[in-house]
């Protein structure tokens, strides 16, 4: 059983959309002229972000997914990143953009970047909607960040708490109401 909580809006759907529009322009500038950008969403958390981001990108794109999980149903990272589902496509010699919802300790993104780099893409960049720099345990940084946020437990826009709340259209902070 999870503790009782309420969700306080932290970043509105409108603010997210405006930020994605700006980020898409920067990504277009970086990858202008690419024959094809392979946009890799890290499941499950990035499914909403990648859907909105690719629709703003005026570039030839391929969409692929990779599932890496370190938290499972827990709220604490295991620090052990498991690949639950690999890419369908080849990325050797291609331009690749990894799309993540949030960088917390950094274990997930670092592991995925290491794995994908070993496949020798032409260029590999990463974008994360949210960054919690104060939580970092390993040295990793996305090339583009949507919003830097404080160390609060967030949900919505793809991000879950015990597999719930991924469908909220905004980013919210979880506030426990049992006083513990």
- What positions carry a catalytic annotation? 104
Interacting residues with Mg ion between 16 and 75 (CB under 5 A): 71
Q: Interface with ligand PRP includes 105 (CB under 6 A)?
A: yes
Q: Give the interface segment with ligand PRP, choosing from 18-26, 87-95, 101-109, 172-180 (CB under 6 A).
A: 101-109
> What backbone phi and psi angles, to 5 degrees, belong to 144?
-130, 140
- Residue from 102, 127, 130, 174 touching ligand PRP (CB under 6 A): that is 102
Q: Interface with ligand PRP includes 104 (CB under 6 A)?
A: yes
Q: Among candidates 151, 171, 44, which has minimal Cα distance to 99?
A: 44
Q: Give the interface segment with ligand PRP, choosing from 21-29, 32-40, 41-49, 118-126 (CB under 6 A).
A: 41-49
HSE-CB of 70 using CA atoms within 13 angstroms: 18
Measured between alpha carbons, how far is residue 77 from residues 9, 52, 108, 131, 161 in Å? Answer: 24, 27, 10, 16, 13
Q: Interface with ligand PRP includes 100 (CB under 6 A)?
A: yes
Q: Is 24:137 a contact under the CB 8 Å cutoff?
A: no
Q: Interface with ligand PRP includes 94 (CB under 6 A)?
A: no
Footprint of Mn ion (CB under 5 A): 45
């Amino acid at each position: 059983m999870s503790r009782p909580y309420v969700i306080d809006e932290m970043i509105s759907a409108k603010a997210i959309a405006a930020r994605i529009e700006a980020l898409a322009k920067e990504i277009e500038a970086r990858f202008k002229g690419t024959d094809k950008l392979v946009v890799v969403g890290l499941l499950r958390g990035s499914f909403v972000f990648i859907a909105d981001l690719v629709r703003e990108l005026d570039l030839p794109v391929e969409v692929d997914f990779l599932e890496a999980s370190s938290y499972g149903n827990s709220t604490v990272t295991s620090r052990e990143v498991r690949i639950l589902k690999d890419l369908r496509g080849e990325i050797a010699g291609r331009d690749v953009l990894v799309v993540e919802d949030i960088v917390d300790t950094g274990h997930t993104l670092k592991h995925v970047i290491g794995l994908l780099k070993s496949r020798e893409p032409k260029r590999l960049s990463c974008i994360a909607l949210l960054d919690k720099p104060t939580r970092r345990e390993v040295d990793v940084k996305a090339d583009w960040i949507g919003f830097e946020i404080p160390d609060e437990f967030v949900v919505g826009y793809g991000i879950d708490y015990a597999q719930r709340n991924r469908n909220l259209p905004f980013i919210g902070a979880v506030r426990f109401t049992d006083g513990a």
